[in-house]
């Protein structure tokens, strides 16, 4: 993707990766710069506005975030709904999806303009109360969404036991059978009208989010937390970036998804250990 006058490969950072890089935990900030800014390929980090809003109350970490991402080119994605809406719109128009300022915002350290300098942009953003309130409202719903997913998991177990069916019955084969129905249902829940015959193969962002959610609910017994909900939503942009840095479970999600979603077949997958210079 072109940012300023240069072209970069986009590398998506999840919540854990962003925090480690910004705070330089395990020297991850240094490791990130050495790994992705000194080789033949130039990468630009990509993060979600969810992450930025989440960091704002932690003044020390937030200031480190602004400082770090004001010196390198980077990209911030908007809430997941904007990505899903844009993807559906492109499908309906028969045109390819591209990352534009409708779904993301690019920053460059070479500009002092409010719209292109990371720090200036976010200093201005906090004054846009209606937008901030809307995003805060969505983030504040993450805990209840996590509880809903926990309930879905426990309810599925209970029903399988009642019918004397194996717990591993809910597998990838089961998911593929219900995938189209699930994608359409969630798009409608996002207030994005779609028809029942929509070709979901043209909606990789929605498919990536759904598959991440499915595996998070049914393929681990780990307690689902609000940050898990955030990372599931953040994963939706993965089909449109070149690489990701994430924790082990989500890295495995992307690896498995390559067999299901052709648009991420070439996705480079990095784990937190790949940027840590000390453990």
CA angle, residues 146, 235, 244, in degrees to nearest 5: 130
What is residue 11's predicted lDDT score, i.e. its pLDDT? 96
Output the tens digit of pLDDT for each of the chain's 279 residues.
777 777 889 999 988 899 999 998 889 999 999 989 876 778 999 999 998 888 888 889 999 999 999 888 999 999 999 999 999 999 999 999 999 989 999 988 765 555 577 888 888 888 888 888 888 899 999 999 999 999 999 999 999 999 999 888 899 999 999 999 999 999 999 999 999 999 999 999 999 999 999 999 999 989 999 999 999 999 999 999 999 999 999 999 999 999 999 999 999 999 999 999 876
Q: Which residues, listed in sequence order, are joined to residue 106 by a DSSP beta bridge?
A: 75
Distances (CA, A) of 97 to 78, 175, 243: 15, 25, 18
What is residue 264's predicted lDDT score, i.e. its pLDDT? 96
What is residue 121's predicted lDDT score, i.e. its pLDDT? 86
The Cβ of residue 71 has, within 10 Å, a number of other Cβ atoms equal to: 11
Distance of alpha carbon 5 from alpha carbon 234, whole angstroms:
27
What is residue 114's predicted lDDT score, i.e. its pLDDT? 52
What is residue 108's predicted lDDT score, i.e. its pLDDT? 84
CB 15 within 8 A of CB 51: yes
Which phi and psi angles does 126 have, rounded to 5°? -60, -20
Distance of alpha carbon 261 from alpha carbon 252, whole angstroms:
14
Q: Closest by alpha carbon to 47, among 6, 88, 13?
A: 13
**Contacts of residue 70, Cβ cutoff 8 Å, sequence gap at least 6:** 107, 109, 117, 118, 119
DSSP letter string, 157-195: HHHHHHTT--GGGSSHHHHHHHHHHHHHHHHHHTT----
CB 14 within 8 A of CB 231: yes
What is residue 38's predicted lDDT score, i.e. its pLDDT? 77
**Contacts of residue 144, Cβ cutoff 8 Å, sequence gap at least 6:** none
């Amino acid at each position: 993707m072109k940012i300023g006058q240069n072209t970069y490969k986009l590398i998506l950072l999840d919540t854990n990766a962003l925090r480690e890089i910004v705070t330089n935990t395990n020297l991850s900030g240094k490791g990130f710069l050495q790994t992705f800014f000194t080789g033949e390929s130039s990468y630009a980090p990509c993060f979600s506005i969810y992450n930025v809003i989440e960091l704002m109350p932690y003044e020390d970490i937030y200031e480190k975030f602004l400082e770090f991402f004001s010196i390198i080119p980077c990209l911030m994605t908007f809430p997941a709904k904007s990505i899903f809406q844009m993807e559906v719109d492109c499908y309906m128009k028969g045109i390819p999806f591209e990352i534009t300022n409708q779904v993301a915002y690019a920053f460059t350290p070479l500009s002092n303009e409010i719209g292109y300098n990371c720090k200036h942009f976010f200093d201005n953003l906090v004054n846009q109360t209606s937008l901030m309130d809307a995003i805060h409202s969505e983030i504040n719903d993450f805990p209840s969404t996590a509880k809903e997913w926990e309930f879905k998991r426990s309810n599925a177990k209970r029903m399988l036991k009642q019918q004397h069916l194996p717990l591993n019955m809910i597998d990838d084969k089961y998911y593929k059978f219900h995938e189209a129905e699930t994608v359409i249902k969630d798009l409608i829940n996002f207030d994005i009208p779609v028809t029942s015959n929509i070709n979901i193969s043209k909606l990789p962002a929605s498919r990536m989010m759904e598959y991440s959610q499915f595996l998070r609910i049914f393929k681990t017994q780990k307690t689902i937390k609000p940050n898990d909900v955030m990372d599931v939503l953040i994963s939706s942009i993965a089909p449109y970036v070149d690489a990701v840095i994430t924790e082990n479970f989500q890295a495995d999600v992307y690896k498995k998804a390559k067999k299901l979603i052709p648009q991420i077949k070439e996705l480079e997958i990095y784990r937190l250990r790949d940027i840590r210079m000390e453990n």
